[in-house]
């Protein structure tokens, strides 16, 4: 029983340390990780397992190397901000794979990208035919940026000579009954304003599943559904 509790405590501690480390490295989705960030992420996951599985090892034997990796990654990130040459050495360069509608075969060979993979990336970018694409660039994080030909893009209000209404940022201020004061501040509103808006429709905060603010006004309001019995 004691060993189970000890393993549980070690797991929780390492989980907290990993969360802190990832938070210090910055917010990134897995698909947006640069090479150095991916390497650090993989190494941290390996280091975290050792103190959990090996009871003879102290927690510091995992935490100290993880902290060193995080510091290295932060240092590398700062260095890349200062030096473009170092950044290119670590992350590489964006690679042009379609130029003015023409496939760059040599670039595809350098990337070891098959035509099937190319078309998969094009479809994910909303281009279902090669004839639609003017430019395509494989970014340093492996994702593909695609620019369609001018005739393939949807007609914009500007091209049609129509004045479109200005866009407003929509923020979630109430989620499943929990108020987000940070989002409220970004919208220039406060808790009193939210309560006034809910009072007008006869609701309390704990009765709201979703409330957004767009342009200083209520955007979307979704009432909580009753729990199934």
58-94 pLDDT, tens digit per residue, is 777 777 877 787 787 778 778 877 877 777 777 778 8
Each residue of 143-159: pLDDT tens digit? 889 998 877 777 778 87
CB-CB neighbours of 137 under 10 Å: 17
Q: What is the pLDDT of residue 6?
A: 65
Beta bridge partners of 210: 175, 222
Residue 134: per-residue pLDDT: 92
- Superfamily name and number for 170-223: bsu07140 like domains (3.30.240.20)
**Burial group, residue 92, by CB count within 10 angstroms (0-12, 13-18, 19+):** middle
Can you tell me whether residue 40 is helix, strand or coil?
helix
Task: Identify the segments of the chain with pLDDT beneath 50.
Answer: 29
CATH code linked to domain 95-152: 3.30.240.20
Dihedral in degrees, nearest 10, Cα atoms 64, 65, 70, 75: 100
């Amino acid at each position: 029983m004691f060993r189970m509790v000890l393993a549980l405590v070690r797991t929780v501690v390492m989980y907290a340390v990993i969360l802190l480390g990832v938070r210090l490295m910055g917010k990134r989705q897995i698909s947006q990780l640069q090479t150095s960030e991916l390497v650090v992420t993989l190494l941290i996951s390996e280091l975290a397992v050792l103190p959990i599985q090996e009871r003879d090892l102290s927690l510091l034997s995992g935490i100290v190397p993880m902290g060193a990796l995080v510091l290295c990654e932060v240092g590398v990130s700062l260095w890349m901000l200062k030096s473009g040459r170092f950044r290119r050495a670590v992350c590489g360069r964006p690679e042009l794979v379609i130029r003015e509608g023409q496939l760059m075969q040599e670039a595809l060979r350098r990337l070891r990208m098959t035509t099937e993979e190319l078309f998969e990336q094009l479809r994910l970018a909303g281009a279902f035919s090669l004839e639609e694409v003017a430019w395509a660039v494989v970014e340093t994080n492996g994702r593909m940026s695609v620019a369609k030909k001018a005739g393939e893009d949807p007609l914009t209000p500007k091209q049609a000579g129509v004045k479109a209404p200005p866009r407003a940022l929509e923020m979630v201020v109430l989620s499943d009954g929990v108020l987000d004061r940070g989002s409220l501040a970004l919208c220039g509103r406060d808790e009193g304003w939210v309560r006034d808006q809910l009072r007008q429709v006869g609701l309390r905060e704990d009765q709201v599943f979703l409330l957004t603010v767009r342009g200083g006004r209520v955007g979307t309001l979704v009432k909580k559904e009753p729990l199934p019995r």
